[in-house]
Amino acid sequence: MSTSDTSKSSPQNLQARSASSGSASAEHPLPQPLKPPKRIARTILAALKGGVVPRIGLGWIAVGRRLEIEALLNDMEVVRDGGASFRFIVGRYGAGKSFLLQTLRTYVMERGFVVADADLSPERRLAGTKGQGLATYRELVQNFATKTMPEGGALGLILERWMAGLRAELAAEGVQPGTPEFLAGGEAKILERMHALGEVLHGYEFSQLLIRYFRAMETGEDEVRARVVKWLRGEYPTRAQAKAELGINLVVSDDNWYDFLKLFALFLRGAGYEGLLILIDELVNLYKIPNSVSRQNNYEKILTIYNDMLQGRARGLGVVMSGTPQAVEDQRRGIFSYEALRSRLAAGRFSQDGRRDMMAPVIELEPLTPDELLVLIDKLAHMHADLFATGLVLSDQALARFLELEYDREGAATHLTPREIIRDFIEALNILAQNPDLTVDALFGTKAFQSAEHSEGDGEAEDEQGKDEETNTHGEFSLDHPQDVRFQSEWPACTMFCSGTQLFSAAPLRRTAGTGPRARRHAH
C-alpha cells in the first residue's frame, strides 16, 4: 500500500482497522508474522530493559529514522566507490543515537563492509598524551567486525582471507607452496599490491608486517604471526621492542593511530571488502574534559579527520560520530567552541524544523512520533508474549493508553525519550506476566508514573532545559498523524536485514488469538 492510501491514525481508526482485520475470511487468511528466535528475543528485551542497544536482532524492532538511514546509506555508497564520508549524529540522551549507529552497523556488515565501533570515555579519547588516543585505536581494531564475525575480533580472519587470496594467485601461476620461489613470489606480490595503494604514510612498514605474516604462515611460525597481530592492534609499548621482535622501528601511538586506520581502509578494499566504517559514540566525554587545552586538542583531531574525509585524502573510509546537542553545539566547551569546526558544521540559514538538509555533515535526530512509538511497543508486546508464552494480548487502545500515560508525566515535554518509554513498557509487561491477577486496566489506570527523570549519566539537564523547551516537538500526545506508519509501504533502499526480516517494516505484527481467561482479561 502506498503512503497516499493511508488514513489518519486516530484511536478510532486504529480500532476500526483492528476489527476489520479480524474479520478476514477463511479463504484469504492474514499472513502470519515472522517471529524472532527466542535467543534473539531474549537478548533484545534484556538489553532494552537495561537501557542499552542490543547488538543483534535490530531488524525486528526498528521503526522510523527513514530519512536518516537513507542519508547514511548514501554515504556508504560513496565509500563503496572509493571515497570517504564523515557525519555527526546529534540527539539527546535516549533519543536513539546508539540504536541508529548499531542499525547502520548491522546493515553495512551484511553488504561486505568491515565495521569498527568504540565508545569514548575518560580513558579513550581522540587525542591525548597518556595513551588515550591509542586506547581508542585499540578498541576499534579489537572490534573489527564482518558478516561472518559480527561480534568483533575479525582482524585475524581478515588477514587470513587476504593471505589466502595471495596464495591462490601464486598457485594459479604454477608456483609450488613450500618452495623458495613461493616465498619470493608472495613477497613480490605484497609489495606490488601495497604500491598500488599509492604513497601513503607508513605504507612501507605496513608492507613489511604483511610480508612477515606471510612468511610465518608458510614456515609455521605461529609466534611471529601473533606478534604481527599484536603490532597491528597497537599493543607494542616501545619502538625498541618492535624493532627487536619484528624489525619494525615504529609503533602505533597517540600521534599516528588515525594514519593506520586509513591504511587499514585501503588494505581492506584490496582484501575484497567494500570499505571500513568507523562508529564513535559518546562525544560527550570530550565535552567533559576539564582541561581546555586537552579539549581543543581532541577537537583539532576531529578537524583533521573531517578535512581528510572531505578533501579526498582518505579512501574507502566512513566515519560517524554521535553525541548530545550540548556536546556538539555548546560554544563554550562543545565541538562548536572550536571555531574551525563550528564554521564547517553549523546549520545554514534555510534549515528549519521540518525542513532539514540531510546532506549536511550534522544530522539532528527528531523525536519519534507517537505513531512510530505505537508500532515499536506493539512489536515488543508480541515479542514478550511469544518469548514467555503468556498469551497476553494488548489492544491498540491499551497501547495508546500506555503512551498517553507516558506523555502525561511531569517533565515529559523536555526529558521524555524513547529509551525511557521502552524501559517502562517492558517493565509493565514483566509485571503483568508475573502477576496473573493484575489487569491492564488496573495497571495503566493508575498514576504510577509521576515524573520523567532525565536519563542517567546526563549532567546537562539544567543547561539544556531552556533550549529543549524551544525545540520540543513532542507536544501533546496524539495519534492523529496524517500517515499511520503502520501501513506505509516498505522502504525500497533497505528492505532486508541479515536475518531475512524486513528492515524498518511499517506493517504491524498481526494480533494473535489468545486463549484462556488471561488473554481475554487483558484484551482491553
pLDDT tens digit string along 176-234? 888 888 999 989 988 888 877 767 788 889 999 999 999 999 888 999 999 999 999 99
3-state DSSP assignment of residue 398: helix
Are 104 and 186 in the same domain? no
Q: How far apart are CA 72 and CA 360, in angstroms?
A: 11
Q: How far apart are CA 396 and CA 505, in angstroms?
A: 18
Measured between its terminal Cα atoms, the distance across the chain in Å is: 29
Contacts for 293-296: CB closer than 8 Å, 24+ residues apart = 294/125, 294/127, 294/128, 295/333, 295/337, 296/337, 296/338
Q: What was the pLDDT predicted at 353?
A: 64
Strand partners, 279: 117, 320
Specify whether the backbone of 500 is left (phi greater than 0), alpha (psi in -120 to 50) or beta: left
The CB density around residue 230, as the number of other CB atoms within 10 Å, is 14
3-state DSSP assignment of residue 4: helix
| pLDDT, mean of residues 367-392 | 84
Of these ranges, 245-249, 269-273, 344-348, 416-420, the one predicted with the greatest mean pLDDT is 245-249
Are 385 and 484 in the same domain? yes
* 112-121, 169-178, 507-516: the lowest-pLDDT one: 507-516
3-state DSSP assignment of residue 514: coil
Q: Phi first, then psi: what are they for 292, rounded to 5°?
A: -65, -35
Q: What was the pLDDT predicted at 15?
A: 39
Are 170 and 209 in the same domain? yes
- Sign of the Cα torsion 245, 131, 151, 101 reads negative
Q: How far apart are CA 240 and CA 222, in angstroms?
A: 22
Within a domain: 268: no
Within a domain: 480: yes
| pLDDT, mean of residues 136-140 | 97
Q: How far apart are CA 425 and CA 448, in angstroms?
A: 13
Within a domain: 466: no
Q: What was the pLDDT predicted at 459?
A: 42
Q: What was the pLDDT predicted at 414?
A: 63
Are 219 and 282 in the same domain? no
Is 102's pLDDT higher than 60? yes
Are 376 and 416 in the same domain? yes
| pLDDT, mean of residues 313-338 | 94
Are 101 and 194 in the same domain? no
pLDDT band at 456, cuts 50/70/90? very low
Q: What was the pLDDT predicted at 488?
A: 33
CA distances from 369 to 365, 452, 507, 523 (A): 12, 17, 16, 24
Q: What was the pLDDT predicted at 196?
A: 72
Are 502 and 376 in the same domain? yes
pLDDT band at 354, cuts 50/70/90? low
Is 349's pLDDT higher than 90? no
Are 357 and 487 in the same domain? no
Within a domain: 125: yes
pLDDT > 90: percent of the chain: 38
Using alpha carbons, select from 476, 475, 484 the residue that is nearest to residue 508. Answer: 484
Q: How far apart are CA 146 and CA 149, in angstroms?
A: 5
Within a domain: 258: no
| pLDDT, mean of residues 356-372 | 84
- The total number of structural domains that make up the chain: 3
The grid cell for 370 is: 507517537
Within a domain: 317: yes
Are 378 and 505 in the same domain? yes
Within a domain: 28: no
Is 515's pLDDT higher than 70? no
pLDDT band at 420, cuts 50/70/90? confident
If one compares 33 and 213, the residue with the highest pLDDT of the two is 213
Q: Considering the chain, what is the average pLDDT of its residues? A: 78
Q: How far apart are CA 52 and CA 419, in angstroms?
A: 8
* 129-143, 411-425, 495-509: the lowest-pLDDT one: 495-509
pLDDT band at 32, cuts 50/70/90? very low
pLDDT band at 33, cuts 50/70/90? low
Angle at 53 between CA 51 and CA 55, to 5 degrees: 145
- Sign of the Cα torsion 391, 396, 397, 398 reads positive
CATH of the domain at 340: 3.40.50
Q: What was the pLDDT predicted at 497?
A: 32
Sheet with 362-364, edge to edge strand ranges: 114-119, 276-281, 317-323, 84-90, 362-364
Are 142 and 282 in the same domain? yes
Q: How far apart are CA 300 and CA 157, in angstroms?
A: 34
- Digit-coded pLDDT (tens) for 471-501: 344 444 444 443 333 323 233 333 333 333 3
The grid cell for 72 is: 547514511
| pLDDT, mean of residues 97-121 | 91
Within a domain: 229: yes
Are 242 and 387 in the same domain? no
Q: What was the pLDDT predicted at 117?
A: 94
Contacts of 441 (CB under 8 A, 6+ apart): 524
Is 134's pLDDT higher than 90? yes
Q: Which of 313, 330, 364 is the last residue of a domain?
A: 364
CA distances from 480 to 61, 80, 196, 370, 403 (A): 23, 41, 58, 9, 14
Is 49's pLDDT higher than 60? yes
Identify the domain containing residue 206 by its residue range: 156-246
Is 114's pLDDT higher than 50? yes
Q: What was the pLDDT predicted at 268?
A: 92
Are 380 and 452 in the same domain? yes
The grid cell for 122 is: 575518560
3-state DSSP assignment of residue 88: strand
Burial of 388 (C-beta count, 10 Å sphere; 0-12/13-18/19+) = middle
Is 243's pLDDT higher than 60? yes
Q: What was the pLDDT predicted at 491?
A: 31
Q: How far apart are CA 120 and CA 283, in angstroms?
A: 6
Contacts for 428-437: CB closer than 8 Å, 24+ residues apart = 428/402, 429/380, 429/381, 429/384, 429/392, 430/49, 430/384, 432/390, 432/392, 432/522, 433/384, 433/388, 433/390, 433/392, 436/518
Q: How far apart are CA 276 and CA 287, in angstroms?
A: 27
The grid cell for 164 is: 589466502
Q: What was the pLDDT predicted at 471?
A: 39
| pLDDT, mean of residues 427-450 | 78
